[in-house]
Amino acid sequence: MTKTFWILGILAVLVIAFFMFASFRFSNIETPSYRVIKTLGSVELRAYPQMTIAQTDLRSSSFDNEGSNGFRTVANYIFGGNQTGQKIAMTAPVIMEMGDSARLSFVMPSAYELNELPQPNSDRVSLQQTPEKTLAVIQYGGFSDDDKIKKYADKLMAELQEQGIAAKGSLLYMGYNSPWDVVNRRNEVAIEVVWP
């Protein structure tokens, strides 16, 4: 019994070490450049440039129910599910628009112009260009679910209301980690704001 316990303990340590290594090994991926305009407590106002995204529509804005399905749909596109079979580098964050029309998007690497990307094989994936925008963003760690996203969304909206800053559009969830990352997880809740 003791020998089995020690073997299981060693295996558990090795699995944890692997996941920690993977977290650090794959954390150096491209993220969109943005400029911090102002910090309001735990909220940052950020100016984002125009970006090219691959996106899919979701049936609902529930992260718990739709996040994984949306992720797999768009991941299939970048892993070669396109007309040329081309693999496209993963970037962060994965963005979930959580409004009346829910969508999940991957930001495409900055090396590509919209017209240089291969067309998706799936009619559930479309390529779009987003305009420049100013987002109010609040960051938190750990794993996300609908309740946690709502908690930080409420905190974000309360700060904007207190500061007299008008929000527009849908709430966004932005996740920066792969599912196997167990340390240094970065999540953000954001919304576009009207800014001079």
The predicted pLDDT at position 181 comes to 86
The predicted pLDDT at position 177 comes to 93
Q: Which residue has the tokens 């150096």?
A: 28
- The pLDDT tens digits for 38-56 are 999 999 999 999 999 999 9
- The pLDDT tens digits for 112-160 are 999 999 999 999 999 999 999 999 999 999 999 999 999 999 999 999 9
pLDDT band per the 50, 70, 90 thresholds, residue 10: low
pTM: 0.84
Q: What domains sit in the chain, N to C, each tagged with a CATH number?
A: 35-193 (3.20.80.10)
The predicted pLDDT at position 2 comes to 73
